[in-house]
Amino acid sequence: MDKILVNYEDLLNTYKSKPAGLLASQKYQDWFPIKKSSVLAGIIADLMGDGHLQGKPKLRLDYTSNSKEELERFNSKIYQLFNIQGKIRSCTTNNYGTMNLGINNAILTRTLILLGVPSGAKVNKNFSIPNWILTNKNYFSRFVNRLFSCEASIDVKYKCIDFKMHKNKDIAKEGKIFFEQIRFYLQKHFNITSTNVFLSGENKKANGETSVGLRFKIKNKQSLINFYKYIKFDEKEKQNKLKLIGSTLLQPFLHQS
């Protein structure tokens, strides 16, 4: 039972009316019970990074990228676990060339919320990494691989991995817990050390709310080698930049691998 995360009964309990829940979800019963897997850990990380779960008024999810290949990858992982697929469309609300994969499925959204994926604006919510991911080396490696592929950058000049996410200034202190979870288990599982978490820049919105960047860097030589060995980046450009750092810091290791 320790491998089971969500049962069908757990889903039905999210409905005010159990008969209504049965009617809405009957054809998805074969999803359950949902068990731990590296694929699921990656999906949760994707949605904590470049994804968005909408709770109201319509339960749905979106995953955003400027790479169609990346959207197709995410789509295939959803299909692998849940046997459903979304649709890719261009985003017309910005000029960054981003695209969006949308999945209009309330049962999937309810299930992902049960699995620990935050709904609504993540900048205004505190959330944590599920314990089953934190305590398992393989699941945690996949989680960090995907979250950093979404949210980290590689600074070739200063030879570091820079991880940053934004949080509403009013809850920034609580938001640091998420970062501390990552730092602690990077050290525990892979002997990867990082800087302390620090604040970086403020962004005041039209509604008067202010967000701040929460951030840490990985710049220790052995830590970068360990990241390259045990985690890596799925995102090709970032992985290539990590290899560029290898022209100096990682060269001895790259010759051996």
In this prediction, residue 120 has a pLDDT band, given cuts at 50, 70 and 90, of very high
4-120 matches 131-256 in fold: yes
The pLDDT value recorded for residue 1 is 47
For the segment 215-233, what is each residue's pLDDT rounded down to a tens digit? 999 999 899 989 999 999 9
Whole-prediction pTM value?
A: 0.93
Based on the number of CB atoms within 10 Å of its own CB, is 91 exposed (0-12), middle (13-18) or buried (19 or more)? middle
pLDDT at res. 235: 83
**Burial label, 192 (beta-carbon count in 10 A; 0-12, 13-18, 19+):** buried
In angstroms, the CA 206 to CA 58 distance is: 25
- Whether 92 has a pLDDT exceeding 90, the answer reads no
Higher pLDDT, 3 or 47: 47
Domain formed by 131-256, architecture? Roll (3.10)
Give 29-87 pLDDT, tens digit per residue: 999 999 999 999 999 999 999 999 998 788 999 999 999 999 999 999 999 999 999 99
- pLDDT over threshold 90, residue 199: yes
Mean pLDDT for the stretch of residues 10-21: 95
Measure the CA–CA gap between 243 and 227, rounded to whole angstroms: 11
Per-residue pLDDT, 3 = 87
Tell me the average pLDDT across 116-127: 94
Q: Give the pair of three-digit tokens for residue 114.
A: 């049960």
The residues spanned by each domain of the chain are 4-120, 131-256
Instruction: Compute the distance between CA of residue 38 and CA of residue 42 in angstroms, rounded to an integer.
Output: 6
What percent of the chain stands above pLDDT 70?
92
Length reported for the chain? 257
**To the nearest 10°, the Cα dihedral for 135, 61, 164, 148?**
50
CA quadruple 101, 48, 245, 155: dihedral sign: positive
Mean pLDDT of 233-241: 87
Tell me the pLDDT band of 202, cut-offs 50, 70 and 90: confident
Sole residue written with tokens 């978490």: 197
- What was the pLDDT predicted at 62? 96
Does the pLDDT at position 141 exceed 90?
yes
DSSP E strands in the chain: the ranges are 4-6, 34-35, 51-54, 60-65, 87-90, 99-103, 152-155, 160-168, 198-204, 210-218
Confidence band of 2 (pLDDT split at 50, 70, 90) = low
**What is the maximum alpha-carbon separation in the chain?**
63
- Residue 230 and residue 227: Cα distance in Å, rounded? 5
Topology of 4-120 in CATH? Endonuclease I-creI (3.10.28)
Mean confidence (pLDDT) of the chain: 91
Check pLDDT > 60 for residue 250.
no
As a whole number, mean pLDDT of residues 7-30 equals 96
